Amino acid sequence: MDEQEEVKVKNPWHRPVLIFLTVFIILGIVIMVSISVVQNKPLPKKYKYGIVLDAGSSHTSVFIYEWPAEKENNTGMVRQIHTCNVKGKGISSYNANPDGAGKSLQECMVEAKQKIPAYRHSETPVYLGATAGMRLLKMEDETASEKVLASVEHSLKTYPFSYQGARIISGQEEGAFGWITVNYLNQNLNKPTGTLGALDLGGASTQITFIPQQEIESGDNSIDFRLYGNDYHLYTHSFLCYGKDQALKLSLSKKLVSAHAASKTDPIEVRDPCFHPGYNFTRTVQSIFDTPCMKAVNISSGIISHVGFGDWSQCQQSIRKVFNTSRCAYSKCSFNEVFQPSVYGKFGAFSAFFFVMDFLNLTSDSLAITKQKLEKYCSTPWKKIVENYPLVKEKYLSEYCFSGTYILTLLEDGYNFTSENWQDISFLKKIKGSDAGWTLGYMLNLTNMIPAEAPDTRLMPYGGYVTFMIFFTLFIFVLFLLACLYFRQSTRKAQKGII
């Protein structure tokens, strides 16, 4: 009995200090584990948003962009999460009914409200940039263009976003921001890699932008940027009236003028090699001349009979007439006396360059094959084309022969691409999910999201730095203990030896 009591008394777990210490240690472990679980739980990423409306000549598109809130100055972080095509034509078509321009944006802006989390609405910037359609309207009727801009401004201010302005952007801006977009999305801007030239074909204008190898001889075509610590010296030009819809009108007007001189029929028959054999459509003369891109001509008949005969090489001859290459006051020109250095490097060709070449399945062939295929396509009877593509809008369908030939002629005779560098052109619509176009570059610039200088980077992230320092300190401490132990052992051995 006494012995048993003695064992009980000697059991160390019955000592209060030890019990207290054990509970304390367990509690400590629980607290540490809980803190580490909470601390290391992946945080929900916070995003910011921006809206840009591309008010083009043919239609308006609304783009919504998203980027991680804490990484906004890094290249490639902004991505397009949604796009909405406004129903109907571009805002410049509302010249006679300006209120309609603002109203037309309603559906897409309501969609934007649903796509962006409500708590971000008030800090989400909205920009509207209008391009060639509004440039032409401003030339024709400045008051009407101001009314249209006032109408879209009034409409955009009714939404809970942060309205930042609606304006007509210049051709240089359109070209330069398109170039920034493609190079930002390809993450070319903070690396020593080459950049991609940008080719944009709209309905009313077309832009070419690239870094040339030679000096830029005209100030209007030069634009300088400092992005992420690199200096960029760009060549850019925007040809107003050379988008594919205006170019069609230009080309058709020339055919109409010569048909009018020769023909005695009413309506005048305009025979067109750029439209398929069997194509026959009645147009008004007004629909061809309703643009400041051409001087009005005095044509007696109000309507024309537009008849196709599908001959590619004659089509190309007729399109060449819209490019004036007879004079150049510089060492080199593209056309219409505009300076252009030799094209250099790889190019991304988007908007109608892509729609058309993709439809015609001509995005990856050599120049010679491209011409052969196009020749065959243009000579295909209109009836057969309609049968082959029952789902494609007839207006688009009828114009692909003209548009394909226009693209080829613009690139080869206008910009001076050759069979050697033809395959440096990539026809593209999107890059990593975001549309190629000027809108993203425009927003990045206005939100200061591309810094002039590359941000200074630390050797390692803060968390990594703390972990490294803790482990390294422990490692040194263990080495120190081992050294002490070794020192004690060796001094003991030495003392024993002495004894």
Of the candidate spans 100-108, 126-134, 227-235, 305-313, the one that interacts with ligand GTP by CB under 6 A turns out to be 126-134
User: Min. distance of Cβ 277 from ligand GTP in angstroms?
Assistant: 21
- Identify residue 454 by its one-letter amino acid code: A
Q: Which is nearer to ligand GTP, 305 or 405 (CB)?
A: 405
What angle do helix axes 244-262 and 394-409 make, rounded to 10 degrees?
A: 90
**Stretch 77-96 residues interacting with ligand GTP (CB under 6 A):** 90
User: Min. distance of Cβ 335 from Ca ion in angstroms?
Assistant: 20
Of the candidate spans 56-64, 77-85, 372-380, 395-403, the one that interacts with Ca ion by CB under 5 A turns out to be 56-64
Tell me which of 174, 215, 337, 375 is the catalytic residue. Answer: 174
Q: Which is nearer to Ca ion, 202 or 273 (CB)?
A: 202
Q: Nearest residue by C-beta to Ca ion?
A: 202
Q: Are 145 and 137 in contact (CB under 8 A)?
A: yes
Report the C-alpha gap between 24 and 313 in whole angstroms.
92
For the four alpha carbons of 335, 339, 343 and 346, in that order, the dihedral sign comes to: negative
- Can 174 be counted among the known catalytic residues? yes
Q: Which of 50, 56, 125, 404 touches Ca ion (CB under 5 A)?
A: 56
Q: Are 259 and 268 in contact (CB under 8 A)?
A: yes
Q: Which of 50, 57, 236, 440 touches ligand GTP (CB under 6 A)?
A: 57
Of the candidate spans 55-63, 219-227, 274-282, 378-386, the one that interacts with ligand GTP by CB under 6 A turns out to be 55-63
Binding at 58: pick from Ca ion, ligand GTP, none (beta carbon under 5-8 Å per type): ligand GTP
Residue among 162, 166, 124, 159 at smallest CA distance from 145: 166
Of the candidate spans 63-71, 125-133, 155-163, 271-279, the one that interacts with ligand GTP by CB under 6 A turns out to be 125-133
Q: Are 53 and 437 in contact (CB under 8 A)?
A: no
Q: Is 351 in the site for ligand GTP (CB under 6 A)?
A: yes
Q: Are 240 and 171 in contact (CB under 8 A)?
A: yes
User: Min. distance of Cβ 262 from ligand GTP in angstroms?
Assistant: 30
Q: Is 355 in the site for ligand GTP (CB under 6 A)?
A: yes
DSSP 15: -
**Stretch 200-229 residues interacting with Ca ion (CB under 5 A):** 202
Report the C-alpha gap between 471 and 473 in whole angstroms.
5
Residue among 111, 36, 104 at smallest CA distance from 81: 111
Q: Which of 75, 93, 104, 131 touches ligand GTP (CB under 6 A)?
A: 131
Of the candidate spans 12-20, 52-60, 69-77, 472-480, the one that interacts with ligand GTP by CB under 6 A turns out to be 52-60
Q: Is 439 in the site for ligand GTP (CB under 6 A)?
A: no
At 85, give phi and psi (nearest 5°): -90, 120
Binding at 245: pick from ligand GTP, Ca ion, none (beta carbon under 5-8 Å per type): ligand GTP
Q: Is 276 in the site for ligand GTP (CB under 6 A)?
A: no
Report the C-alpha gap between 161 and 156 in whole angstroms.
8
Q: Which pair of structure tokens corresponds to residue 193?
A: 């890699």
Q: Which pair of structure tokens corresponds to residue 438?
A: 């000027």
Residue among 307, 340, 483, 330 at smallest CA distance from 410: 340
Which residues touch 413 (CB under 8 Å, ≥6 apart)?
320, 323, 325, 335
- Identify residue 152 by its one-letter amino acid code: V
User: Min. distance of Cβ 180 from Ca ion in angstroms?
Assistant: 15
DSSP 50: E
75-106 b/e with 16+ CB inside 10 Å = b?
bbebbbbbbbebeebbbbbbbeebeebbebbe
Q: Is 243 in the site for Ca ion (CB under 5 A)?
A: no
**Stretch 154-183 residues interacting with ligand GTP (CB under 6 A):** none
User: Min. distance of Cβ 455 from ligand GTP in angstroms?
Assistant: 34
Binding interface with ligand GTP (CB under 6 A): 56-59, 90, 131-133, 202-205, 243-245, 351-352, 355, 359, 396
Catalytic residues, by residue number, are 174
Binding interface with Ca ion (CB under 5 A): 56, 202
